[in-house]
Structure 1
Amino acid sequence: MVTTAGGGFGFPSGLVVQEFGYDDDVDLALREVVEAETGMALVDEDYEDVADAALVWWRQEDGDVDDLTDLLVDAKANLEDGAGLIWVLTPKARTRGAVPASEVEEAAATAGLHATSTASMGERWSGTRITTRRR
């Protein structure tokens, strides 16, 4: 069973969601939730058109807070008009690859984004919902 914030990610139907950091440890059930919400297959990091939202898988071994900031800047640049919803999924606390929530929040702020909430996502992942800052 998949447990997510509010029962899902909050992606409306028809959105193109670009996925970053896919590896063999991702939760396939969570990917299926996104595809069910949007009615669309996820597109990968090499997608060459604009996306409406992003799903980022991030683990401690993927790099430090500066590397995550760079990835969030790249994800934001791929969004339509630089605006949209980004979910950063990290391994849960006290598990291999866990990333402190404070690092995700710091990376988001440095990238000009705003971390709005966190939630348990499936059995192994925590999710941080990130939006563009209001001007």
Structure 2
Amino acid sequence: MSATADHAEERTNLAARLGFQSGQVVQELGYDEDTEQDLREAIEEHTGTELVDEDYDDVADAVLLWFRDEDGDLTDALVDAIGFLEEDGMICLLTPKTGRDGYVEPSDITEAVQTAGLSQTKPVSVGKDWNGSRLVTPKGAKAGGPRR
């Protein structure tokens, strides 16, 4: 296998590890110039669909939420993201790593995730500057939030 093929497979595997699946509509929130382009491309490659932005007017299968400390209240952002999702959808929360601009304390993330009625997987490195966690509504529970 070539180095290019290895890199593409590694990226696709990262998208799969975060819980993305083929055919999903993924809505991206919080995009800015500091986001991890390789991850964005890997998700598009793995799902076979282009990411849609906050102006998308239907529900999505997953939300890719880039969140930095200065972006406001994380609980509010998570509750808003839930409103963009299909009933069994998931949120991929991406936050800057320790020491990076916009770093969010793990305890703040845990508190916001619990307050929003979600459960969290162990964070994984998704690039040089970002960590990601998969957030889902616990089985048997339904998180609140506005439906669009």
**Which moves more between the two structures, 7-16 or 17-26?**
7-16
2:26 is the counterpart of 1:17: yes
2:11 is the counterpart of 1:7: no
CA distance in 2, matches of 1:101, 1:120: 14
Which of residues 111, 114, 119 is equivalent to 2:116? 111
Q: Deviations over 1:103-130 (max 9, x none)?
A: 1121111111111221011111011211
Tell me the secondary structure at the aligned position of residue 61 of structure 1.
helix
- Taking structure 2 as the reference length, what is the TM-score of the superposition? 0.81
1:42 matched residue in structure 2: 51
CA distance in 1, matches of 2:81, 2:101: 25
- Taking structure 1 as the reference length, what is the TM-score of the superposition? 0.88
CA distance in 1, matches of 2:14, 2:49: 18
2:83 is the counterpart of 1:77: yes
Q: Deviations over 1:3-22 (max 9, x none)?
A: 77x63322110000011101
CA distance in 1, matches of 2:91, 2:29: 10
CA distance in 1, matches of 2:64, 2:54: 10
> After TM superposition, what 4+ stretches of structure 1 lie above 4 angstroms from structure 2?
1-4
Which of residues 94, 110, 129 is equivalent to 1:124? 129
Structure 1 unaligned segments of length 5 or more: list them: none
2:96 is the counterpart of 1:91: yes
CA distance in 2, matches of 1:103, 1:87: 16
Structure 2 unaligned segments of length 5 or more: list them: 1-6, 141-148
CA distance in 2, matches of 1:44, 1:118: 24
- How far the C-alpha of 1:27 sits from its partner, in A, is 1.0
Q: How many residues align?
A: 130
2:139 is the counterpart of 1:134: yes
Contact in 1 for aligned 2:58/2:84 (Cα 8 Å)? yes
